Amino acid sequence: MVYASKFTALPNDKVHIKWKNKDGTQHQKRMPTFCLTNILKVTAQMQHYIANSKRAYLEALLKDEELVSMTVRMAVKYAQSKPVGDFLSCLYFYFPFQTADETRNH
């Protein structure tokens, strides 16, 4: 669940999304004026969602086209090459994504 509240935009608030299309024409769209509330709850829920879905997400990336899967594998290899402190911070992210072959090789 995400908690949000409508707010009244002040003159300096950024409430438009801007982009350019392929021919360089700039577009702008006003976004609804809502903001996240209960930030600690929202943060905990987002972390829970990420923890529960990251394995499936990375497994899907590993099955994607060659460039995507190679990039994911290189990122994991890079994380493994970092000093212990950096590597330990990556363990939470890395271990759920090892394939059976990678696990047997370690």
Asked if residue 5 lies in contact with residue 35, where contact means CB atoms within 8 angstroms, the answer is yes
| Among 60, 67, 49, CA closest to 97 | 60
Residue, of 26 and 81, whose pLDDT is higher? 26
Q: What percent of the chain has pLDDT over 90?
A: 35
What tens digit of pLDDT does each residue of 84-99 get? Answer: 555 445 545 544 444 4
Rounded (10°) angle between helices 39-62 and 66-80: 120
pLDDT digits (tens, 9 = 90+) for 55-83: 788 788 888 899 988 988 888 788 777 76
What long-range pairs does 57-66 form, CB within 8 A, spacing at least 24?
Answer: 58/96, 58/97, 59/97, 62/97, 62/99
pTM for the predicted model, two decimal places:
0.46
